[in-house]
Amino acid sequence: MLQLVREKIISRSLRVGVIGLGYVGLPLATTLAEAGFHVTGIDIDQQKVDLANQGESYIPDIASSTLQSLVEAGRLTFTTDFSILKEIDAISICVPTPLRKTRDPDISYIIAATRQVQANLHLGQLVILESTTYPGTTNEIVLPELESTGLRVGKDFFLAFSPERIDPGNPNFGTRNTPKVVGGVTPACTELAEAYYSAAIEQIVPVSSARVAEMTKLLENTFRAVNIGLVNEIAIICEKLDINVWEVIDAAATKPFGLMRFLPGPGLGGHCIPVDPQYLSWKLKTLDYTARFIELAAEINSSMPHYVVGKVNKVLNEMRRSLNGSTILILGVAYKGNVSDVRESPALDIIQELIRQKAVVLYNDEYVPSLTLSGRVLRSQPLSSGLLQAADCVVIVTDHSYYDAAWIVNEARSIVDTRNMTRTIADPKIFRL
């Protein structure tokens, strides 16, 4: 059975399915199709499926022209019908794994996708979970469901975990050239998953188990979350000591060893860095252990939006104004520059806190035309001299490349710069993080 699947990979006759067509799934489906496989993308969102079948990309990292050419060539098709899995040889599960309001993992999407796979599981099928989750999910949740069919892992079907490493908006690294970790439930599963992904991705990093692969992803983003928490606290410390934290970071970064450059900001955003460490922390709590570094970093990072609002309040006080009734213009609501993704964006917390304190909040973000917060719809305002001059305080939250820092400083009354976009400008109206 193993050799038969390997031969299908080599001949590109392997039929591929990707469940979940978001920031991870659509790029993966496109990369696999470009490698010569026939790929079927599956999603419960009919709008995504319709757009993709028309060759219209809703993911900025995937050009519509690329998608359209693959659709027209018959390499890519999209559907909401999971019964197509009966005809699929290799399945990549790329569904969301959010946190509940209680900060517990929500793996309901993984469970739902696994049940669809289970209902259509057949001999020789390769199943790979890519959704970020806690160590043990593949073995403890996915495997029992699939083996309930009577098929045996490593012999009748193959199961592995391979963490997604998508960095939206990164011009240098995408699905094809980002090294891909794979860990199977059995050695045969690892071997097959490695052969499968190596047909489309430049470098594969096999590890000894699915649990190691799951933990690898959590280490990557916990490392970042903890170090961002550290540098955010350094920023607060530097303000109390009347020291420019950005100058400190620039000077420290000249050391050629022993230091990795991290930057402070208004908080953590995106699906991975704010969420992934919490999966690990939750898992450790079930083992009666407190992940103290993770908890402390989360506490500092989650407090940064409130710290930014506090800084806005101080700036207005110096102008003899109160936050109540002042007009605050937020520049950028995406979680990072030059993307449209607002998942876990600190801008959302900043806006809601400003509204709670009765400020008049406007925002500009060409990547995010509208926002819905607590049932309230906000729309991006065209950036103009009039808009900047009308604001009592301008808060730079996201460093989109289309922002002209010098022009913004020239037009605005006061600026809170959380991203150091105004680093080359000396002006008393600028208040940096």
Q: Which residues are catalytic?
A: 272
**Residues near 243 by Cβ (< 8 Å), separated by ≥ 6?**
none
Contact of 253 with 285, CB cutoff 8 Å = no
The per-residue DSSP string of 271-305 comes to SSTTTHHHHHHHHHHTTT---HHHHHHHHHHHHHH
Spatial separation of the C-alpha atoms in residues 253 and 234, rounded to whole Å: 14
- Amino acid occupying residue 125: Q
Torsion angles phi and psi, residue 276, rounded to 5: -55, -45
**Residues near 150 by Cβ (< 8 Å), separated by ≥ 6?**
none
Q: Which residue has the tokens 């402070």?
A: 264
Query: Coil, strand or helix: which one is 46?
Result: helix
Query: Coil, strand or helix: which one is 3?
Result: helix
Contact of 45 with 7, CB cutoff 8 Å = no
Query: Coil, strand or helix: which one is 432?
Result: strand
Q: Which residue has the tokens 């939250």?
A: 397
Spatial separation of the C-alpha atoms in residues 363 and 47, rounded to whole Å: 27
Bridge partners (DSSP) listed for residue 184: 160
